[in-house]
Amino acid sequence: MSRRAVTLTLASVLVLVFALAGSFMPVPYVALMPGPTSNTLGVNDKHEPLIKIDGRQVYPATGHLNFTTVTYRGGPGNRIDLFTALRGWIEDDVAIVPEETLFPKNESAKQVDEENTRQMRDSQQNAEAAALQELKIPIATQVVVDAVQKGKPADGKVRPGDEVLGVDGAKVTGVGQVTESMARRKPGAAVALAVRRDGKEEKIPLTTVASADGKRAVIGIVLGEQYKFPFKIDISVGDVGGPSAGLMFSLAIVDKLTPGSLTGGRFIAGTGTITPDGKVGPIGGIQQKMVAARRAGATVFMTPADNCADALAAKPDGLRLIRADTLHNARQALEDLQANKPVPACTKG
Protein backbone atom coordinates (compact mmCIF):
# COMPACT_ATOMS: atom_id res chain seq x y z
CA MET A 1 0.00 0.00 0.00
CA SER A 2 1.34 3.45 -0.90
CA ARG A 3 2.24 6.00 1.75
CA ARG A 4 -0.63 8.22 0.55
CA ALA A 5 -3.17 5.39 0.93
CA VAL A 6 -1.90 4.59 4.42
CA THR A 7 -2.16 8.27 5.38
CA LEU A 8 -5.73 8.54 4.06
CA THR A 9 -6.75 5.34 5.85
CA LEU A 10 -5.28 6.49 9.14
CA ALA A 11 -6.91 9.90 8.74
CA SER A 12 -10.28 8.30 8.04
CA VAL A 13 -9.97 6.07 11.08
CA LEU A 14 -9.03 9.03 13.25
CA VAL A 15 -11.99 11.06 11.96
CA LEU A 16 -14.30 8.14 12.71
CA VAL A 17 -12.85 7.68 16.19
CA PHE A 18 -13.17 11.38 16.97
CA ALA A 19 -16.72 11.42 15.59
CA LEU A 20 -17.72 8.46 17.73
CA ALA A 21 -16.05 9.92 20.80
CA GLY A 22 -17.68 13.29 20.17
CA SER A 23 -21.11 11.72 19.91
CA PHE A 24 -20.81 10.54 23.51
CA MET A 25 -19.56 13.87 24.87
CA PRO A 26 -21.95 15.58 27.32
CA VAL A 27 -23.75 18.63 25.91
CA PRO A 28 -25.60 21.44 27.77
CA TYR A 29 -29.07 20.47 26.53
CA VAL A 30 -32.10 18.79 28.08
CA ALA A 31 -34.46 16.33 26.39
CA LEU A 32 -38.15 16.90 27.15
CA MET A 33 -40.43 13.87 26.74
CA PRO A 34 -44.08 12.97 27.41
CA GLY A 35 -44.58 12.20 31.10
CA PRO A 36 -47.23 10.40 33.14
CA THR A 37 -50.80 11.64 33.29
CA SER A 38 -53.04 11.37 36.36
CA ASN A 39 -56.81 11.44 36.68
CA THR A 40 -57.77 14.17 39.15
CA LEU A 41 -61.08 12.36 39.64
CA GLY A 42 -59.35 9.10 40.50
CA VAL A 43 -56.73 7.86 42.96
CA ASN A 44 -53.02 8.45 43.37
CA ASP A 45 -50.17 5.93 43.60
CA LYS A 46 -51.20 5.12 47.18
CA HIS A 47 -54.73 4.26 45.99
CA GLU A 48 -56.11 7.26 47.85
CA PRO A 49 -58.34 9.91 46.25
CA LEU A 50 -56.08 12.30 44.37
CA ILE A 51 -58.43 15.10 45.51
CA LYS A 52 -60.15 14.53 48.85
CA ILE A 53 -62.78 16.91 50.21
CA ASP A 54 -63.92 16.79 53.85
CA GLY A 55 -66.61 18.91 55.47
CA ARG A 56 -68.71 19.48 52.35
CA GLN A 57 -71.08 17.31 50.36
CA VAL A 58 -69.40 15.74 47.34
CA TYR A 59 -70.95 14.01 44.34
CA PRO A 60 -69.81 10.99 42.32
CA ALA A 61 -67.69 11.95 39.30
CA THR A 62 -67.15 9.75 36.26
CA GLY A 63 -64.75 9.84 33.36
CA HIS A 64 -61.31 11.43 33.35
CA LEU A 65 -59.94 14.91 33.99
CA ASN A 66 -56.25 14.15 33.65
CA PHE A 67 -53.43 16.57 34.27
CA THR A 68 -50.39 15.98 32.10
CA THR A 69 -46.66 16.18 32.76
CA VAL A 70 -43.32 16.36 30.99
CA THR A 71 -40.29 14.32 31.95
CA TYR A 72 -36.72 15.24 31.09
CA ARG A 73 -33.27 13.79 30.67
CA GLY A 74 -30.14 15.79 31.28
CA GLY A 75 -29.29 18.71 33.49
CA PRO A 76 -26.30 19.69 35.63
CA GLY A 77 -24.29 16.65 36.69
CA ASN A 78 -26.26 14.34 34.39
CA ARG A 79 -25.94 15.82 30.92
CA ILE A 80 -27.11 14.00 27.83
CA ASP A 81 -24.59 13.17 25.11
CA LEU A 82 -24.50 14.61 21.61
CA PHE A 83 -25.91 11.42 20.08
CA THR A 84 -28.97 11.58 22.38
CA ALA A 85 -29.48 15.24 21.53
CA LEU A 86 -29.25 14.59 17.77
CA ARG A 87 -31.68 11.68 18.04
CA GLY A 88 -34.09 13.85 20.04
CA TRP A 89 -34.07 16.54 17.38
CA ILE A 90 -35.52 14.13 14.83
CA GLU A 91 -38.11 12.51 17.12
CA ASP A 92 -41.58 14.05 16.96
CA ASP A 93 -42.40 13.67 20.66
CA VAL A 94 -39.06 14.92 22.04
CA ALA A 95 -37.89 18.50 22.40
CA ILE A 96 -34.23 19.36 22.87
CA VAL A 97 -33.84 22.66 24.72
CA PRO A 98 -30.88 24.52 26.25
CA GLU A 99 -30.06 23.45 29.78
CA GLU A 100 -30.74 27.00 31.04
CA THR A 101 -34.42 26.56 30.10
CA LEU A 102 -34.91 24.29 33.11
CA PHE A 103 -31.81 25.05 35.16
CA PRO A 104 -30.90 28.76 35.30
CA LYS A 105 -27.16 29.29 35.67
CA ASN A 106 -27.54 30.96 39.07
CA GLU A 107 -29.62 28.09 40.54
CA SER A 108 -28.63 24.58 41.58
CA ALA A 109 -30.63 21.49 40.66
CA LYS A 110 -31.80 21.32 44.29
CA GLN A 111 -33.03 24.92 44.13
CA VAL A 112 -34.91 24.16 40.91
CA ASP A 113 -36.60 21.15 42.56
CA GLU A 114 -37.54 23.27 45.58
CA GLU A 115 -38.99 25.95 43.32
CA ASN A 116 -41.03 23.36 41.40
CA THR A 117 -42.37 22.03 44.70
CA ARG A 118 -43.33 25.55 45.79
CA GLN A 119 -45.05 26.17 42.46
CA MET A 120 -47.07 22.99 42.81
CA ARG A 121 -48.12 23.97 46.34
CA ASP A 122 -49.16 27.43 45.18
CA SER A 123 -50.93 25.95 42.17
CA GLN A 124 -53.02 23.71 44.41
CA GLN A 125 -54.05 26.61 46.63
CA ASN A 126 -54.87 28.78 43.61
CA ALA A 127 -56.89 25.93 42.11
CA GLU A 128 -58.90 25.53 45.30
CA ALA A 129 -59.55 29.28 45.52
CA ALA A 130 -60.55 29.49 41.86
CA ALA A 131 -62.94 26.54 42.14
CA LEU A 132 -64.66 27.87 45.24
CA GLN A 133 -65.01 31.33 43.76
CA GLU A 134 -66.44 29.79 40.58
CA LEU A 135 -69.05 28.10 42.79
CA LYS A 136 -69.67 31.33 44.75
CA ILE A 137 -68.46 29.73 48.00
CA PRO A 138 -67.06 32.47 50.29
CA ILE A 139 -63.40 32.21 51.25
CA ALA A 140 -61.23 34.36 53.50
CA THR A 141 -57.57 35.31 53.26
CA GLN A 142 -54.84 35.48 55.86
CA VAL A 143 -51.45 37.20 55.84
CA VAL A 144 -48.58 34.87 56.70
CA VAL A 145 -44.83 35.21 57.06
CA ASP A 146 -43.10 33.47 54.14
CA ALA A 147 -39.53 34.21 55.23
CA VAL A 148 -37.48 36.05 57.88
CA GLN A 149 -34.27 37.79 56.85
CA LYS A 150 -31.21 36.98 58.92
CA GLY A 151 -29.76 39.81 60.96
CA LYS A 152 -32.92 41.92 60.77
CA PRO A 153 -35.08 42.92 63.77
CA ALA A 154 -37.57 40.07 63.18
CA ASP A 155 -34.84 37.42 63.15
CA GLY A 156 -35.34 35.08 66.11
CA LYS A 157 -38.66 36.66 67.07
CA VAL A 158 -40.93 36.12 64.06
CA ARG A 159 -41.12 32.72 62.37
CA PRO A 160 -42.08 31.59 58.85
CA GLY A 161 -45.67 30.40 59.00
CA ASP A 162 -46.77 32.98 61.58
CA GLU A 163 -50.13 34.51 60.70
CA VAL A 164 -49.99 38.30 60.99
CA LEU A 165 -53.16 39.50 62.69
CA GLY A 166 -52.38 43.16 63.27
CA VAL A 167 -49.86 46.00 63.26
CA ASP A 168 -49.91 48.41 66.23
CA GLY A 169 -53.41 47.32 67.13
CA ALA A 170 -54.84 47.71 63.62
CA LYS A 171 -56.32 44.52 62.18
CA VAL A 172 -54.53 43.18 59.11
CA THR A 173 -56.57 41.98 56.13
CA GLY A 174 -53.96 42.01 53.36
CA VAL A 175 -50.26 42.33 52.58
CA GLY A 176 -50.81 45.78 51.11
CA GLN A 177 -52.08 47.06 54.43
CA VAL A 178 -48.85 46.03 56.16
CA THR A 179 -46.77 47.56 53.37
CA GLU A 180 -48.60 50.88 53.66
CA SER A 181 -48.20 50.88 57.43
CA MET A 182 -44.45 50.32 57.18
CA ALA A 183 -44.08 52.99 54.48
CA ARG A 184 -45.22 55.64 56.96
CA ARG A 185 -42.43 54.81 59.40
CA LYS A 186 -38.83 55.90 59.65
CA PRO A 187 -35.87 53.70 60.62
CA GLY A 188 -35.70 53.34 64.39
CA ALA A 189 -39.47 53.52 64.86
CA ALA A 190 -41.19 50.98 67.08
CA VAL A 191 -43.72 48.55 65.64
CA ALA A 192 -45.83 45.90 67.38
CA LEU A 193 -46.88 42.82 65.44
CA ALA A 194 -49.76 40.63 66.53
CA VAL A 195 -49.34 37.10 65.21
CA ARG A 196 -50.98 33.71 65.59
CA ARG A 197 -48.53 30.84 66.09
CA ASP A 198 -49.54 27.24 66.77
CA GLY A 199 -53.06 28.40 67.50
CA LYS A 200 -52.00 31.02 70.07
CA GLU A 201 -51.91 34.80 69.64
CA GLU A 202 -48.73 36.67 70.51
CA LYS A 203 -47.62 40.30 70.45
CA ILE A 204 -44.08 40.93 69.24
CA PRO A 205 -42.45 44.36 69.78
CA LEU A 206 -39.83 45.30 67.18
CA THR A 207 -37.73 48.30 66.18
CA THR A 208 -37.32 49.08 62.50
CA VAL A 209 -34.00 49.56 60.71
CA ALA A 210 -33.12 51.13 57.39
CA SER A 211 -33.45 49.09 54.22
CA ALA A 212 -30.37 48.34 52.10
CA ASP A 213 -30.95 51.48 50.02
CA GLY A 214 -31.61 53.55 53.15
CA LYS A 215 -34.98 54.73 51.85
CA ARG A 216 -37.38 52.61 53.90
CA ALA A 217 -37.95 51.27 57.38
CA VAL A 218 -37.96 47.48 57.54
CA ILE A 219 -38.19 44.69 60.10
CA GLY A 220 -36.97 41.91 57.80
CA ILE A 221 -39.99 39.77 56.96
CA VAL A 222 -41.42 38.60 53.64
CA LEU A 223 -45.20 38.31 53.64
CA GLY A 224 -47.66 36.36 51.54
CA GLU A 225 -51.37 35.69 51.48
CA GLN A 226 -53.01 32.33 52.01
CA TYR A 227 -56.65 31.38 51.71
CA LYS A 228 -58.74 30.10 54.58
CA PHE A 229 -61.21 27.65 53.13
CA PRO A 230 -64.51 26.77 54.82
CA PHE A 231 -63.76 23.05 54.44
CA LYS A 232 -60.72 20.86 53.82
CA ILE A 233 -59.41 20.02 50.36
CA ASP A 234 -56.38 17.72 50.06
CA ILE A 235 -54.58 17.27 46.75
CA SER A 236 -52.01 14.45 46.74
CA VAL A 237 -50.02 14.02 43.54
CA GLY A 238 -46.75 12.56 44.80
CA ASP A 239 -43.44 13.66 43.31
CA VAL A 240 -44.81 16.13 40.76
CA GLY A 241 -43.81 19.79 40.61
CA GLY A 242 -44.63 22.95 38.76
CA PRO A 243 -47.80 25.03 38.33
CA SER A 244 -49.30 23.61 35.12
CA ALA A 245 -51.91 21.29 36.67
CA GLY A 246 -53.91 24.17 38.16
CA LEU A 247 -56.74 24.21 35.62
CA MET A 248 -57.38 20.47 35.88
CA PHE A 249 -57.33 20.61 39.69
CA SER A 250 -59.95 23.37 39.62
CA LEU A 251 -62.19 21.51 37.17
CA ALA A 252 -62.03 18.37 39.31
CA ILE A 253 -62.94 20.27 42.49
CA VAL A 254 -65.90 21.89 40.72
CA ASP A 255 -66.97 18.48 39.42
CA LYS A 256 -66.81 16.88 42.86
CA LEU A 257 -68.77 19.71 44.49
CA THR A 258 -71.62 19.79 41.96
CA PRO A 259 -74.21 17.19 40.92
CA GLY A 260 -73.70 15.41 37.62
CA SER A 261 -70.50 14.96 35.69
CA LEU A 262 -68.46 17.53 33.81
CA THR A 263 -66.90 14.87 31.61
CA GLY A 264 -70.02 13.00 30.55
CA GLY A 265 -67.87 9.88 30.90
CA ARG A 266 -65.28 11.13 28.40
CA PHE A 267 -61.51 10.90 28.78
CA ILE A 268 -60.52 14.55 29.02
CA ALA A 269 -56.99 15.75 29.69
CA GLY A 270 -55.44 19.18 29.78
CA THR A 271 -53.03 21.66 31.21
CA GLY A 272 -52.76 25.29 32.26
CA THR A 273 -51.84 27.41 35.22
CA ILE A 274 -54.65 29.01 37.23
CA THR A 275 -54.95 32.21 39.25
CA PRO A 276 -57.22 32.53 42.28
CA ASP A 277 -59.69 34.51 40.17
CA GLY A 278 -59.81 31.77 37.55
CA LYS A 279 -57.55 33.02 34.74
CA VAL A 280 -55.82 30.25 32.79
CA GLY A 281 -52.18 30.80 31.85
CA PRO A 282 -49.80 29.19 29.34
CA ILE A 283 -47.39 26.37 30.09
CA GLY A 284 -44.29 24.75 28.58
CA GLY A 285 -44.03 21.39 26.86
CA ILE A 286 -47.46 21.52 25.20
CA GLN A 287 -46.37 19.08 22.46
CA GLN A 288 -45.17 16.45 24.93
CA LYS A 289 -48.25 16.85 27.11
CA MET A 290 -50.62 16.32 24.20
CA VAL A 291 -48.75 13.17 23.18
CA ALA A 292 -48.90 11.88 26.76
CA ALA A 293 -52.64 12.59 26.91
CA ARG A 294 -53.41 10.84 23.62
CA ARG A 295 -51.32 7.80 24.55
CA ALA A 296 -53.26 7.54 27.81
CA GLY A 297 -56.54 7.52 25.89
CA ALA A 298 -57.70 11.16 25.96
CA THR A 299 -59.90 12.41 23.13
CA VAL A 300 -60.29 16.00 24.40
CA PHE A 301 -57.51 18.32 25.54
CA MET A 302 -58.10 21.54 27.48
CA THR A 303 -55.58 23.98 26.01
CA PRO A 304 -54.57 27.39 27.40
CA ALA A 305 -55.45 30.06 24.85
CA ASP A 306 -51.85 31.28 24.64
CA ASN A 307 -50.66 27.76 23.77
CA CYS A 308 -53.19 27.21 20.99
CA ALA A 309 -50.89 28.06 18.07
CA ASP A 310 -48.18 25.62 19.18
CA ALA A 311 -50.76 22.99 20.05
CA LEU A 312 -52.37 23.13 16.61
CA ALA A 313 -48.99 22.69 14.95
CA ALA A 314 -48.33 19.44 16.83
CA LYS A 315 -51.80 18.04 17.61
CA PRO A 316 -51.90 14.23 17.63
CA ASP A 317 -54.57 12.53 15.54
CA GLY A 318 -57.77 11.87 17.45
CA LEU A 319 -57.31 14.66 19.98
CA ARG A 320 -59.78 17.54 20.03
CA LEU A 321 -58.46 20.84 21.38
CA ILE A 322 -60.71 23.07 23.50
CA ARG A 323 -59.44 26.58 24.14
CA ALA A 324 -59.44 27.60 27.81
CA ASP A 325 -58.85 31.17 28.92
CA THR A 326 -60.75 31.08 32.24
CA LEU A 327 -62.02 28.39 34.57
CA HIS A 328 -65.59 29.56 34.01
CA ASN A 329 -65.26 29.26 30.23
CA ALA A 330 -63.58 25.86 30.53
CA ARG A 331 -66.38 24.59 32.74
CA GLN A 332 -69.00 25.95 30.34
CA ALA A 333 -67.21 24.35 27.40
CA LEU A 334 -67.36 20.91 29.02
CA GLU A 335 -71.05 21.34 29.77
CA ASP A 336 -71.67 22.44 26.16
CA LEU A 337 -69.67 19.49 24.88
CA GLN A 338 -72.09 17.13 26.63
CA ALA A 339 -75.04 18.98 25.13
CA ASN A 340 -73.51 18.81 21.62
CA LYS A 341 -73.24 22.59 21.50
CA PRO A 342 -70.36 24.53 19.91
CA VAL A 343 -67.30 24.86 22.13
CA PRO A 344 -64.34 27.26 21.88
CA ALA A 345 -61.63 25.64 19.78
CA CYS A 346 -58.01 26.49 19.10
CA THR A 347 -57.77 28.23 15.73
CA LYS A 348 -54.84 29.27 13.56
CA GLY A 349 -55.90 32.88 13.82
End-to-end CA distance of the chain: 66
Of the candidates 324, 35, 11, 311, the residue with the CA atom closest to the CA atom of residue 337: 324
CB atoms closer than 10 angstroms to residue 79: 18
Packing angle, helices 246-256 and 327-338, rounded to 10? 60
> CA-to-CA distance for 296 and 41, rounded, in angstroms?
15
273-to-19, 85, 150 alpha-carbon distances in Å: 43, 29, 33
Residue 103, classified by CB atoms within 10 Å of its CB into exposed (0-12), middle (13-18) or buried (19+), is buried
Of the candidates 338, 346, 323, the residue with the CA atom closest to the CA atom of residue 272: 323
Q: Letter for the amino acid at 82? A: L
33-to-69, 269, 288 alpha-carbon distances in Å: 9, 17, 6
42-to-102, 252, 256, 293 alpha-carbon distances in Å: 30, 10, 11, 16
82 touches 19 (CB < 8 A) = no
Beta bridge partners, 45, equal none
DSSP string of 213-274, one letter each residue: TSSSEE-SEEEEEEEE-SSEEEE--SS--SSTTHHHHHHHHHHHTSSS-SSTT-EEEE--EE
Q: What amino acid positions are annotated as catalytic residues? A: 244, 289
280 touches 306 (CB < 8 A) = no
Helices (H) and strands (E) in the chain, counts: 8, 18
